[in-house]
Amino acid sequence: MTIFENAELDHTQVENAMAPEDSAGLRQLYSDFDQAHLMPLWTQLDDLMPMHPTPRSVPHIWKWSTLYPLAQSSGTLVPVGRGGERRAIGLANPGLGNKPYISPTLWCAIQYLGPGETAPEHRHSQNAFRFVIEGEGVWTVVNGDPVRMSRGDLLLTPGYCWHGHHNVTDRPMAWIDGLDIPFAQTNDTTFFEFGPDELTDYSTPKSSRNERLWCHPGLRPLSGIHDTVASPIGAYRWEYTDRALTQQLLLEDEGHPGVVEPGHAAIRYINPTTGGDVMPTIRTEFHRLRPGTATQTRREVGSTVFQVFEGSGSIVIDGTEQQLDIGDLVVVPSWVSWSLQADTSFDLFRFSDAPIMERLHLDRTHLEGTTR
Amino acid sequence: MTIFENAELDHTQVENAMAPEDSAGLRQLYSDFDQAHLMPLWTQLDDLMPMHPTPRSVPHIWKWSTLYPLAQSSGTLVPVGRGGERRAIGLANPGLGNKPYISPTLWCAIQYLGPGETAPEHRHSQNAFRFVIEGEGVWTVVNGDPVRMSRGDLLLTPGYCWHGHHNVTDRPMAWIDGLDIPFAQTNDTTFFEFGPDELTDYSTPKSSRNERLWCHPGLRPLSGIHDTVASPIGAYRWEYTDRALTQQLLLEDEGHPGVVEPGHAAIRYINPTTGGDVMPTIRTEFHRLRPGTATQTRREVGSTVFQVFEGSGSIVIDGTEQQLDIGDLVVVPSWVSWSLQADTSFDLFRFSDAPIMERLHLDRTHLEGTTR
Amino acid sequence: MTIFENAELDHTQVENAMAPEDSAGLRQLYSDFDQAHLMPLWTQLDDLMPMHPTPRSVPHIWKWSTLYPLAQSSGTLVPVGRGGERRAIGLANPGLGNKPYISPTLWCAIQYLGPGETAPEHRHSQNAFRFVIEGEGVWTVVNGDPVRMSRGDLLLTPGYCWHGHHNVTDRPMAWIDGLDIPFAQTNDTTFFEFGPDELTDYSTPKSSRNERLWCHPGLRPLSGIHDTVASPIGAYRWEYTDRALTQQLLLEDEGHPGVVEPGHAAIRYINPTTGGDVMPTIRTEFHRLRPGTATQTRREVGSTVFQVFEGSGSIVIDGTEQQLDIGDLVVVPSWVSWSLQADTSFDLFRFSDAPIMERLHLDRTHLEGTTR
Amino acid sequence: MTIFENAELDHTQVENAMAPEDSAGLRQLYSDFDQAHLMPLWTQLDDLMPMHPTPRSVPHIWKWSTLYPLAQSSGTLVPVGRGGERRAIGLANPGLGNKPYISPTLWCAIQYLGPGETAPEHRHSQNAFRFVIEGEGVWTVVNGDPVRMSRGDLLLTPGYCWHGHHNVTDRPMAWIDGLDIPFAQTNDTTFFEFGPDELTDYSTPKSSRNERLWCHPGLRPLSGIHDTVASPIGAYRWEYTDRALTQQLLLEDEGHPGVVEPGHAAIRYINPTTGGDVMPTIRTEFHRLRPGTATQTRREVGSTVFQVFEGSGSIVIDGTEQQLDIGDLVVVPSWVSWSLQADTSFDLFRFSDAPIMERLHLDRTHLEGTTR
């Protein structure tokens, strides 16, 4: 398609031909608009239809060294139980006003469960996952299936699955939760139900039943031959993730394809019934960079969150480099450029709203030159 | 799945077990949260995760008898041209604060073009349509293809299509625009480019080229065998819509299937390359009720807008009946019950965000008994 | 992928290193193979796995001037009715031995119905269509819906639809039937049921109910929102086909896209619920060439049949040109090159097994230079 | 849809109303048909369109105790090499005349490779797999990636993949090959190319590169995010298959879902990029029955082959029970009833043409009462 000359302009370079001189008539018109619940496009086109995404949310880093002690304090001061449901502390993007949203689509929290505590069962339309960067001893019970939570594991509770948690140890445990709460609330899609105050199963098996049925590479049980909207796998174990990344880097060492770019191994967690994302609104991935490497700088439509799992490095967001240590969480808003840079071997968990963008054909990526 | 006893409760019936007594420590904790850009879930669960959708947007009716004169006044007072781009007056849902959004996902405006006026070309990522309830004489030029706009027609300008409009007559013309501006802005997906100030083609053919290529029932040009994200049809003519509805009612008269419920004919506008919705984010339909009939009362996830095209009747929203006349626009927020009721033969154009809900598996419908 | 040097060889250029010298032991081995229902690959690789498709079916032309009189004779000599079911005379590819198959996948017949005759109702798993090149006066009743058959119409009776035919005039009528009988028989997928001897509806409406519900361009009844395996349209009328082709050529005259190649207009008949082929195993298209033009020579995996509808021209098959007149049928086996050449304006109906090839990812096309 | 009274009849119960008395005219007509390459439907409807599938192929069992010695003999008598390509001995269904087809769609052979032998590289459009019931020491090189072949492994070489085999040990090895050769030949879809006489890589790694990249449950490399027509996994290891089946039976022991029917564990091998079958035309599964159990008797459209991997039992085909021991192969034609019955714990590999049937919407299953 012809790219017209004007296509290069932005709003600031264009004089608004629709700005009439002030007059009593015009003031009356605008007042009538107000009365009738109307707002003209021509006075706010720049805001409504900017040249490219202009997110209100901002890039922001939450340090694990801040988060974890605050979670501990809340463990002391606030009981967990029915009504509040979870001792989860949401990361509130500073650009989104007084909302507990890490981005316009995503909610992210640190959740904390003390020794012997139980978070009661409930279910909701929102899709949820948990990712564990340290600790162990909690089981989450998903539709009656007890799922061990351990370091490096990704745990799913897709929309409408009943779930509760309990800590069987004498030590506390914390992890992060990711949900599509903002998207659900903005678009008015939320449903919620209370389940039993007690969990439906207090057993603590090493492997959940869903893993035993589904976690065999390239195999699908004949009893589960119908595709499901979300993944039937409730626990993606660190052992497998680590092994997959290790193999990609070894293949690169041997001169074979495997890494996504030089020095950069990465996997996407998938729904084995479709090969697609684990849940309809949330993408989850894990990335590993070799020491001294960087990812190609890119902009993407949609918001994304990283949590450092191992090692140290930095992220260059919109040209500004910021240090990242274990447990640190960083959000990158839509169309803001970013690149990860590894000091040591650098492991990061990532989640994003990419499935929303792709399913609605709103996705777009711009790759820039690498900066390191 | 077992529905637990608690599942019947709502937030007001459950005491929050996570409301600790006030204390200096607690106040310090909450203050630390603020400092660290954190917000606890347990104090705002009811707001964040309500039992069912609790839209901020409200049901609202805009009378055509108010809209049209205000559009006329703006035609006198405000020129149309580059920078403001369109003389479009957005319907601002009273519940959504100071935003020109008819719902959280949709923007709807009355656009007005005076005799001989031209709205310059531009394109954007937002998906757009126009629907005409009266008048004629404007051509919209979509990717260089001039498309006549006439009464009852649905006209598409899907994301990234260049488009401009001009009025070739000595009479003004008004119509409604529907876009996914709020969704694009909330989710930071918007791109915009200015095109030429003058239109690329001022000819005024009766049929656009896309219609000549694509509007043959059950046929697809071999030159267009690859599926497209949005419909290649730019104009859905009233002649066809009317005929399809007429036939459904005749089939009902003859005792054959065809109508969607007794006395209620309805069509969905589709992308002929897939059989699905015309654009990835917006559904468009047309409904016709026989005099004296009503649609079954229903609640649906997602927001919907009706415009009366012909006849008169009412809509019962959340139990309250309101009169609707030609041109009137009414928005129904998510999960609010509604039923249309026909005094005369009653024709309504409808658009909604249903494709968003369905593609993300967030759709849900509850049918109630009919009320009339 | 590297293309190795040997990749250019064919079987005749390669000596079989697996041809041992004759010996008693070898003869015993081959005899033992026979006994045990075994056959070695190494003695028949060339036949089993040739370098490219080597169809047993051959290109062949059936002249309408031969077919029609024979159909007339059978109308005199053979009654129509239960048991034989249809007065249909199958075109038997000379290369396929004593089988009534026009190709390995397709069956094609001329069917003839005399004045006042009725072909009783039945249904089967095989997908079927009829195409009419002359005459009128027969109605086919599909699942109880009477469908007029007229010149230029494509009529569908997809798998498992009940259907019968009757001639309401005092003149005979003939048309062609196309089915996937060979594919069904070879692969053992066939089911058949007898219906009533008398038709379920003898009325003779101009438009069938399915047309009244579905034949509105770009529109879909809300009562038919679930996708169907085969098209819900029972009759694709000549009026629409002709109009679509006419418009493509007019667009070409005006310098706009539309034709599939210069001077060549073409449409594919589609299932409006998916935009795909009308039935899972059979593709149907209509082609129109301007006088003096030719289609690009091509080879395709899968077999295809053309019937001339209007005008005259020729087909160059594997380098040999053969004249085609109205009603003539020609089959092109898999991977045999073909090009259509138009003397006058040249209209051809086409059907093929392309959906089988595409759904199983066996499709492949090779385009050569045009020959005229 | 109404099921008419006649629907219960079959061809033998219906008198053919289209059998005219013999006459000179009729004989002339039929002779003219012959001349013109035409065949009437009414004389052969029963054959062409039977009431249900009437396969020419028959159920048949090949005993491993017969197959393996004959493969050994051919190892002595017939060298392996270019031209014949493979020392593969096809199982020829006794019902299919002089064709090396195990069913109308599938080819199955025992392939034998002596100590130190090499089968040269080639590629073809046909999809192929190998399944190993005993032995080890052969590597198959697929697109340059050496893949170990060991007991219980399923190995894939989908259409157009280059592949060759070599035996690095001083003992022979035999396995079964499965391909869609009959389908490709009948439908004229075959392409074949010779590759190098020597293999492109003689290394013998324990794990192939494709396994190292793809065999991590629920994980997908970001470098492989585009879906592929066939599975990127070249080796499905016995270790995983065995573990998956073991877990299903343990879950059954514990009272949880998992098995496909009581006492019957089963997995399907899948393409991890889609969750669907490993190749477009061939389905592969593995079944395990507890001692003393039987599968529900069923008929299915399409042909299927079982090979006993471990244990003993029988198959009841069309009411006749036949003993099955390790290595035995049995083919069940379309719509023939079958049930597996386990004496001991009973392990069977299965392959079939089910993807063809499902993709073309020809699949159909009838479940009967269990027989044991």
CA distance A51 to A7: 10
Chains near D (3 or more Cβ pairs under 8 Å): A, C
The residue behind tokens 């993407």 is A300
Give ∠ CA A154-A160-A166 in degrees, rounded to 5. 55
CA distance C195 to D117: 62
Residues in B touching A67 (Cβ below 8 Å): 36, 38
Is the model's pLDDT at B371 over the cut of 70?
A: no
Residue pairs between chains C and D whose CB atoms are closer than 8 Å: 344
CA distance A168 to A203: 10
Residues in C touching B256 (Cβ below 8 Å): 209
Beta strands B128-131; B154-157: pairing state: antiparallel
Q: Does any CB of chain B come closer than 8 Å to the CB of residue C97?
A: no
With bands split at pLDDT 50, 70 and 90, how would you rate the model's confidence at D369?
low
Q: Are C178 and C282 in contact (CB under 8 A)?
A: yes
Indicate yes or no: CB of C213 within 8 angstroms of CB of B241.
Answer: no
Q: Does any CB of chain D come closer than 8 Å to the CB of residue A210?
A: no
Work out the minimum CA distance from B217 to partner chain C, whole angstroms. Answer: 4
Of the candidates C236, C247, C285, which has its C-beta nearest B218's C-beta? C236
- In percent, the amount of chain C with pLDDT more than 90 equals 95
- DSSP assignment letter at D115: T
Q: What is the pLDDT of residues C100-137, one digit of tens each?
A: 999 999 999 999 999 999 999 999 999 999 999 999 99
CA distance A160 to A229: 11
Q: Are A359 and B189 in contact (CB under 8 A)?
A: no
- Chains A and D physically touch (3 or more Cβ atom pairs below 8 Å): yes
Residues in D touching A259 (Cβ below 8 Å): 223
Q: What is the pLDDT of residues C145-157, one digit of tens each?
A: 999 999 999 999 9
Residues in A touching D268 (Cβ below 8 Å): 219-222, 225
Q: How many whole angstroms from its chain centre is CA B312?
A: 20
B52: closest chain A residue by CA: A191
CB neighbourhood size of A241 (10 A) = 24
* The pLDDT value given to residue B5: 84
Q: Is the dihedral of CA C269, C274, C278, C283 positive or negative?
A: positive
Nearest CA-CA partner of D277 in D358, D166, D183: D358
D287: closest chain A residue by CA: A222
With bands split at pLDDT 50, 70 and 90, how would you rate the model's confidence at C372?
very low
Indicate yes or no: CB of B223 within 8 angstroms of CB of C257.
Answer: yes
Nearest CA-CA partner of A194 in B51, C54, B310: B51
Residues in A touching D270 (Cβ below 8 Å): 218-220, 272
CB neighbourhood size of A286 (10 A) = 25
Indicate yes or no: CB of A216 within 8 angstroms of CB of D217.
Answer: yes
Indicate yes or no: CB of D273 within 8 angstroms of CB of A271.
Answer: no
Residues in B touching A195 (Cβ below 8 Å): 4, 6-7
Q: Which residues pair with D112 in a beta bridge?
A: D174
Beta strands D145-150; D136-142: pairing state: antiparallel
Average pLDDT, stretch B334-342?
A: 98
* The pLDDT value given to residue B239: 98
Work out the minimum CA distance from B275 to partner chain A, whole angstroms. Answer: 16
User: Distance of CA A230 to CAs A129, A234, B297, C94, Å?
Assistant: 12, 10, 31, 54
- Chains B and A physically touch (3 or more Cβ atom pairs below 8 Å): yes
Is the model's pLDDT at D1 over the cut of 80?
A: no
The amino acid present at C168, given as its one-letter code, is: V
Token readout for A147 is 């799922």
Is the model's pLDDT at D370 over the cut of 70?
A: no
Nearest CA-CA partner of B364 in B295, B300, B297: B300
Average pLDDT, stretch C15-31?
A: 94
CA distance B157 to B278: 10
Residues in A touching D225 (Cβ below 8 Å): 268
Indicate yes or no: CB of A272 within 8 angstroms of CB of D247.
Answer: no
Q: What is the pLDDT of residues C179-229, one digit of tens each?
A: 999 999 999 999 999 999 999 999 999 999 999 999 999 999 999 999 999
A248: closest chain D residue by CA: D213
Chains near B (3 or more Cβ pairs under 8 Å): A, C
- For an interface test with C, give the residue of B142, B220, B283 to mutate (most C CBs within 10 A): B220
Q: What is the pLDDT of residues C302-322, one digit of tens each?
A: 999 999 999 999 999 999 999
CA distance B241 to B286: 8
Work out the minimum CA distance from D152 to partner chain C, whole angstroms. Answer: 24
Of the candidates A219, A231, A271, which has its C-beta nearest D270's C-beta? A219
Instruction: State phi, psi for A284 to the nearest 5 degrees.
Output: -130, 135
Residues in A touching D143 (Cβ below 8 Å): none
CA distance A139 to B140: 60
- For A1-13, the DSSP string reads ----GGGG--GGG
Q: Does any CB of chain A come closer than 8 Å to the CB of residue B191?
A: yes
Task: Quote the mean pLDDT of chain D.
Answer: 96
Average pLDDT, stretch B182-208?
A: 97
With bands split at pLDDT 50, 70 and 90, how would you rate the model's confidence at D8?
confident
CA distance A71 to A86: 12
Residues in A touching B41 (Cβ below 8 Å): 84-90, 100, 109
CA distance B281 to B126: 9
Q: Are D146 and D96 in contact (CB under 8 A)?
A: no
Indicate yes or no: CB of D267 within 8 angstroms of CB of A213.
Answer: no
Is the model's pLDDT at D371 over the cut of 70?
A: no
User: Can you give chain B as a three-state secondary structure string?
Assistant: CCCCHHHHCCHHHCCCCCCCCCCHHHHHHHHHHHHCCEEECCCCHHHHCCCCCCCCCCCEEECHHHHHHHHHHHHHHCCCCCCCCCCEEEECCHHHCCCCCCCCCCEEEEEEECCCCEEEEEEECCCEEEECCCCEEEEEEECCEEEEEECCCEEEECCCCCEEEEECCCCCEEEEEEECHHHHHHCCCCCEEECCCCCCCCCCCCCCHHHHHHCCCCEEEHHHCCCCCCCCCCEECHHHHHHHHHHHHHHHHCCCCCCCECCEEEEEEECCCCCCECCCCCEEEEEEECCCCECCCEEECCCEEEEEEECCEEEEECCEEEEECCCCEEEECCCCCEEEEECCCEEEEEEECHHHHHHCCCCCEEECCCCC
CA distance A260 to A295: 10
* The pLDDT value given to residue C24: 96
A221: closest chain D residue by CA: D267
The residue behind tokens 């316009």 is A104
Q: Are A257 and C1 in contact (CB under 8 A)?
A: no
- Chains B and D physically touch (3 or more Cβ atom pairs below 8 Å): no
CA distance D143 to D162: 5
* The pLDDT value given to residue A372: 40
Task: Quote the mean pLDDT of chain B.
Answer: 96
Residues in D touching C83 (Cβ below 8 Å): 11, 14-19, 42, 45
Residues 211-230 of A with CB under 8 A from D: 212-223, 225, 227
Q: Does any CB of chain D come closer than 8 Å to the CB of residue A208?
A: no
Indicate yes or no: CB of D38 within 8 angstroms of CB of C90.
Answer: yes
* The pLDDT value given to residue D5: 85
Query: pLDDT tens digits, chain A, 372 residues: what are they?
Result: 467 888 889 989 999 999 989 999 999 999 999 999 999 999 999 999 999 999 999 999 999 999 999 999 999 999 999 999 999 999 999 999 889 999 999 999 999 999 999 999 999 999 999 999 999 999 999 999 999 999 999 999 999 999 999 999 999 999 999 999 999 999 999 999 999 999 999 999 999 999 999 999 999 999 999 999 999 999 999 999 999 999 999 999 999 999 999 999 999 999 999 999 999 999 999 999 999 999 999 999 999 999 999 999 999 999 999 999 999 999 999 999 999 999 999 999 999 999 999 999 999 999 986 444
Indicate yes or no: CB of C364 within 8 angstroms of CB of D191.
Answer: yes
Work out the minimum CA distance from C290 to partner chain B, whole angstroms. Answer: 16
Of the candidates D225, D257, D268, which has its C-beta nearest A268's C-beta? D225
Give CA torsion, residues B264, B265, B271, B272, to 10 deg: 140
Q: Which residues pair with B349 in a beta bridge?
A: B286, B307
Indicate yes or no: CB of D79 within 8 angstroms of CB of C124.
Answer: no
CA distance B81 to B75: 12
Instruction: State phi, psi for B68 to the nearest 5 degrees.
Output: -65, -45
Q: Are C114 and D46 in contact (CB under 8 A)?
A: no
Residues in D touching A273 (Cβ below 8 Å): 275
* The pLDDT value given to residue D286: 98
Q: What is the pLDDT of residues B269-281, one digit of tens each?
A: 999 999 999 999 9
With bands split at pLDDT 50, 70 and 90, how would you rate the model's confidence at C370?
very low
Contacts of residues A314-320 at CB distance under 8 Å and 24 or more positions apart, as own/partner, are: A314/A340, A314/A341, A314/A343, A315/A339, A315/A340, A315/A341, A316/A341, A316/A371, A317/A59, A318/A59
Residues in A touching D216 (Cβ below 8 Å): 217, 240-241, 243-244, 247, 267
Work out the minimum CA distance from D358 to partner chain A, whole angstroms. Answer: 13
Q: Which residues pair with B288 in a beta bridge?
A: B265, B347
CA distance A86 to D163: 56
* The pLDDT value given to residue A369: 63
Instruction: State phi, psi for A316 to the nearest 5 degrees.
Output: -100, 110
Of the candidates A214, A259, A267, which has its C-beta nearest D220's C-beta? A267
CA distance B185 to B100: 12
* The pLDDT value given to residue A8: 86
Nearest CA-CA partner of D60 in D369, D329, D372, D343: D329
Task: Quote the mean pLDDT of chain C.
Answer: 96
Indicate yes or no: CB of C80 within 8 angstroms of CB of D18.
Answer: yes
Work out the minimum CA distance from C304 to partner chain D, whole angstroms. Answer: 12
With bands split at pLDDT 50, 70 and 90, how would you rate the model's confidence at C2?
low
CA distance C350 to A103: 54
* The pLDDT value given to residue A2: 60
Residues 274-333 of C with CB under 8 A from D: 280-281, 301-303, 333
CA distance B177 to A49: 15
How many residues in chain C?
372
Nearest CA-CA partner of D153 in D135, D172, D141, D128: D135
Indicate yes or no: CB of D38 within 8 angstroms of CB of C362.
Answer: no
CA distance B362 to D209: 40
Residues in A touching D155 (Cβ below 8 Å): none
